[in-house]
Chain A
Amino acid sequence: TQLLEQSPQFLSIQEGENLTVYCNSSSVFSSLQWYRQEPGEGPVLLVTVVTGGEVKKLKRLTFQFGDARKDSSLHITAAQTGDTGLYLCAGLNYGGATNKLIFGTGTLLAVQP
Chain B
Amino acid sequence: DAGVIQSPRHEVTEMGQEVTLRCKPISGHDYLFWYRQTMMRGLELLIYFNNNVPIDDSGMPEDRFSAKMPNASFSTLKIQPSEPRDSAVYFCASSPSGRGTGELFFGEGSRLTVL
Contact = CB atoms under 8 A, between A and B. Distances in A.
Do chains A and B interact in one complex?
yes
Interface of A: 31, 33, 40-45, 48, 50, 88, 90, 92, 97-106
Interface residues of B, number: 26
Contacts, number: 65
B48 interface: yes
B103 A42 contact: no
Given A42-B108, A43-B106, A31 B55 contact: no
Given A41-B108, A99-B95, A33 B103 contact: yes
Contacts of A99: 31, 33, 48, 50, 95, 102, 104
Interface of B: 4, 31, 33, 35, 42-45, 48, 50, 55-56, 91, 93, 95, 97, 100-109
Closest 5 CB pairs of A and B: A42-B106, A103-B43, A99-B102, A92-B102, A31-B101
A40, A42, A48, A104: most-surrounded residue (chain B CB, <10 A):
A42
B77 to A, nearest CB: 15
Contacts of B101: 31, 33, 48, 50, 92
A105 B100 CA distance: 23
Contacts of B43: 43, 88, 103, 106
Contacts of B95: 99
B103 A41 contact: no
A72 to B, nearest CB: 14
Given A41-B109, A88-B43, A48 B103 contact: yes
A111 B7 CA distance: 31
Nearest to A99: B102
Given A48-B103, A101-B104, A42 B93 contact: yes
